[in-house]
Chains A and B, each alone.
Chain A
Amino acid sequence: MINFQYTRASDVSDAVRQIAADPTAKFIAGGTNLLDLMKEDVEHPTRLIDITRLPLTKVEETATGGLRIGALVPNSDLAWHAAITQRYPVLASAILAGASAQLRNMASTGGNLLQRTRCFYFYDTATPCNKRELGSGCSAIKGINRINAILGTSDACIATHPSDMCVALAVLEARIHVAGPGGERIVPFADFHRLPGETPEQDTNLDANEIVTAVELPAEGFARNYTYLKIRDRLSYAFALVSVAVGLEMDGTTIRQARFALGGVAHKPWRDPSAEAALNGQVASPENFRRAADLALRDAKGFEHNAFKIELARRTIVRALTQASRGTPQSQSNKKIA
């Protein structure tokens, strides 16, 4: 482990003041990703600002019928919170599909948004990686890229965002509350994470001196027709090759409103408005699901080892839409795919 200084933030404004005063400082909350990356010498802050004692641990009702989740609510507490399991079960399911019980006890809501890619080359400091060192090149494009992206890639980076929770938050159209030296602002979820483009070193549109304070969920939780279907190499405790979160508003067998997002396939949770629109007003049928899947994947591009993900994603979308429309969501303990 590298050496660093350690401080504690006393409140949000103190945290912002401390991070703005030191360009090589980082916040630490759960630490499950940051400390790992520091041990690997991928991240090397000279100072860690401990934010775990800030009062950001509540789950509260909002005036508009939604929920405001404090950035420091542990992933496990959120997944088991009655308001989440009853009103936003797709979020509970996605969280429980990720990591292990120990890591979920440690990892924070805000930190989950900010976790970094598990691309092998990002972790391997002996190889070039534009996300780790901009301008050094991308080793994955012609390397072992089985786990990498098939949508929204660039010549600079084909990394994926590793979060399960974020795939559900994309479907729920969460809003991210952040605080910085210029005050507070709210970022729509779709604008929080970035595509790699020419600047893959930036995962999000969070400014350097900003802190995530809360995740706000709108009132619509898709509690009846939802699923989170995650396909991976092991049945548990593995990152997604492809995952699909779905939320449907149904009227009998007709889909009134469809939302679905893909994980494991892009630099951010992937939604395609045209694919969703193609389902609205349509009957829930395999043909319509396949058409939506084809639309969502029309620009997918495989690399040497991950082209299988395109067909895998197509089938996972169809299966997930089937589960959601039937009201039979995927269990996260019995892994048989219904």
Chain B
Amino acid sequence: MARALATTQTTLLPPGKISVELVVNGVETKFDVAPWTTLLDALRERLDLTGTKKGCDHGQCGACTVLVDGRRINSCLTLAVMKDGAKVTTIEGLATDGALHPMQQAFIDHDAFQCGYCTPGQICSAMGLIAEGKAKTPDEIREMMSGNICRCAAYPNIVAAIQQVMGAS
């Protein structure tokens, strides 16, 4: 189907590549992206942070979950240019000085994964869940983690891992 081309010039920013500044895992990063680059693709393809996974690319699986300004979001449904100036935390940013984050350790302690593909998204989502402070019971954890699908069905162990960190915090 033929599509009309935009004929007006009301752009505040030029077409083509756009400069974006992000603080990713505590490191200031500046790079140019095409406007249609998702935050997920920018992280993986431009910044080589491939811990964040591309599962469905449609916001249905949660594998791409990262924290933006402390809130968990689906990075596949966000444009990198829209997050200019934001602080992004990915799975690579959780360990400090080689020591695993307690949430990472809890996933290991409880065998909360099998293939591991959904795990970075599960862990970032769990970090967001704890920061929100709304989920207390196993039912509430399950409900508020429902945006993260685990094809291996490690769900009971994921809930147990999150409970371990909640109990400690």
Contacts and interface: CB of A to CB of B under 8 A. Distances in A.
5 shortest interchain CB distances as A-B pairs? A100-B147, A6-B35, A236-B146, A237-B146, A333-B143
Contact of B82 (A4, A31, A103): A31
A35 B79 contact: yes
Interface in B122-155: 125, 128-129, 132, 134-135, 137, 139-140, 142-148
Give the size category of B's interface with A: 35 or more
Contacts of A21: 8, 10
Given A5-B15, A6-B35, A105 B73 contact: yes
7 contacts: A1-B38, A18-B10, A50-B81, A52-B82, A100-B146, A102-B125, A102-B128
A3 B36 contact: yes
Contacts of A80: 132, 134
Contacts of A184: none
Q: Which of B6, B10, B35, B74 has the most CB of A within 10 A?
A: B10
A31 B35 CA distance: 13
A86 B59 CA distance: 31
B65 interface: yes
A47 interface: yes
Contacts of B73: 102, 105-106
Interface string A90-113: 000000000111110110000000
A7 B137 CA distance: 43
Contact of A332 (B38, B62, B71, B143): B143
A35 B77 contact: yes
A44 B36 contact: no
Contacts of B15: 5-6
A232 to B, nearest CB: 12
Contact of B12 (A10, A23, A102, A332): A10
Contact of A333 (B57, B139, B147): B139
Given A24-B3, A101-B129, A333-B140, 15 more contacts: A6-B35, A21-B8, A31-B79, A32-B74, A35-B77, A39-B57, A39-B58, A46-B5, A47-B6, A101-B144, A101-B145, A102-B147, A333-B143, A333-B144, A334-B139
A151 interface: no
B13 interface: yes
A52 B13 CA distance: 15
B145 to A, nearest CB: 8
B78 A17 contact: no
Interface string B9-37: 01111010010000000000000001110
A105 B124 CA distance: 14
B78 A103 contact: no
Given A100-B147, A101-B144, A106-B73, A6 B18 contact: yes
A332 B15 CA distance: 44
Contacts of B115: none
Q: Which of B77, B129, B144, B148 has the most CB of A within 10 A?
A: B77
Contacts of B147: 99-103, 237
Contacts of B58: 36, 39
A119 B59 CA distance: 17
Contact of A36 (B3, B77, B129, B142): B77
B4 interface: yes
Given A36-B58, A106-B74, A46 B6 contact: yes
A5 B6 contact: yes
B53 interface: no
Contacts of B143: 236, 332-333
Given A36-B59, A46-B3, A236 B10 contact: no
B77 A32 contact: yes
A87 interface: no
Given A23-B4, A102-B65, A333-B137, A32 B35 contact: no
A101 B36 contact: no
A22 interface: yes
A106 B18 contact: no
A8 interface: yes
A83 B62 CA distance: 30
Given A24-B3, A101-B125, A236-B146, A7 B34 contact: no
